[in-house]
Amino acid sequence: MTMSSTSLATGLRRALSGAGAAGPGRPPLQTRNTRPSRGAATMLALVAPSVVLLVLINAYPLVVAASQSLHKGSLIITGQFTGLENYTDVLTRPAFWKAAWFTVVFTLVGVFGSWLVGLGLALLLRTKIPAGGFFKVVLMLPWVVPIVVSSTAWNWLVATPDSPVPRLARSLGLGDLLFLADPTLAAITVCVFKVWVSFPFMMLMISAALASVDHNVYEAADMDGATKWQTFTRITLPMIRRSTYISWILMTIFCVNDFPTIYLLTGGGPVNATSSLVVLAYRTVFQDFQTGPGVAIAFLMTLALVVISTVLYRQIRKGETA
């Protein structure tokens, strides 16, 4: 059966006007009414309590914290207004820059390490392996288990010379490795711990992105003679790019703000080797009792996060317009 040229033209006109090809269709679109309708007012009224709550929960502490960062006070008394002195003070402290450097390293390893592991496992689980569902659940455990529990377990694994991992290292002829007492090894251990905790999140994000990729694309590539590597680099990665950038943004925020992973395992030591900015902020406020400088560190950290998030978001936009 063929469609005549008249009926095709009619159908196209109807389609362009918003009507279906065969039926009467919906009425033509009306021009937008810029005045708020009663429905919009109702929606605003319904949203208002949530907005007020969000302001109270987020904005109020931020405003008070901003005030604290501009004063020389304590948790109880506001103290003398010192302008930006707390900021200039912390920016001239070597401990701040050491913590900033570790934060960068910790974040880079945390984001890309967990992404690589998550990507690998997501690709593996995409293939038909026996008990795939079971493995998916098991692999989620590091993300699901409370960090207090997992940090205690890792402490048991590595803390003393008689812990399992140092014993294994000795038996492999690697000598006495001080996983938490040596500054370099402690930094590595904390980063590896972060990757271990975070890869399930990445795996989940990437699995969801992979599931949305049309199989026809792979079949077409296969028919064109693309190798597996070409398929991976020219189809899989570009197709999950948007999801990847979003997961990087989220994981960057998680890593920069991550306090328990570091503090529970090393406390920021030895000799500040694993002190990130958030740990330094905590220790400055609650161990050194310097509220203003501690809050200033937290604000500087927030500023850095906003900049990083904006840069990564631009990458997403680029991807959308490309």
Interacting residue ranges for another protein, rule: CB under 8 A: 57-58, 61-62, 64-65, 68, 74-78, 95, 155, 159-162, 166, 176, 178, 180-181, 186, 249, 253, 256-257, 259, 263-272, 278, 281-291, 294-295, 298-299, 301-302, 305-306, 308-310, 313-314
**Complex with another protein: residue 123 or 185, whichever CB lies closer:** 185
Residue 316: other Cβ atoms inside 10 A: 17
Please confirm whether the linkage preceding 238 is cis (ω < 30° from 0).
no
Q: Which amino acid is at 46?
A: L
- Tell me the closest approach of the beta carbon of residue 119 to another protein, in angstroms: 23
**Complex with another protein: residue 190 or 206, whichever CB lies closer:** 190
- Tell me the closest approach of the beta carbon of residue 4 to another protein, in angstroms: 47
**Complex with another protein: residue 139 or 301, whichever CB lies closer:** 301
- Tell me the closest approach of the beta carbon of residue 242 to another protein, in angstroms: 13
Q: Which two tokens stand for residue 241?
A: 């790019």
- The residue assigned the tokens 């059966």 is 1
Rg (CA), the chain: 27
H or E stretch including 81?
strand 80-81
Q: What percent helix, strand, coil does the chain show, rounded to 5?
A: 70, 0, 25
- Tell me the closest approach of the beta carbon of residue 276 to another protein, in angstroms: 11
Contact 192, 266 (CB under 8 A): no
**Complex with another protein: residue 232 or 313, whichever CB lies closer:** 313
250/42 Cα distance (integer angstroms):
33
Q: Which two tokens stand for residue 38?
A: 């009663």
- Tell me the closest approach of the beta carbon of residue 201 to another protein, in angstroms: 14
- Tell me the closest approach of the beta carbon of residue 169 to another protein, in angstroms: 12
**Complex with another protein: residue 244 or 284, whichever CB lies closer:** 284
Half-sphere exposure at residue 93, Cβ-oriented, CA atoms within 13 angstroms: 19
**Complex with another protein: residue 136 or 170, whichever CB lies closer:** 170
Q: Which amino acid is at 159?
A: A
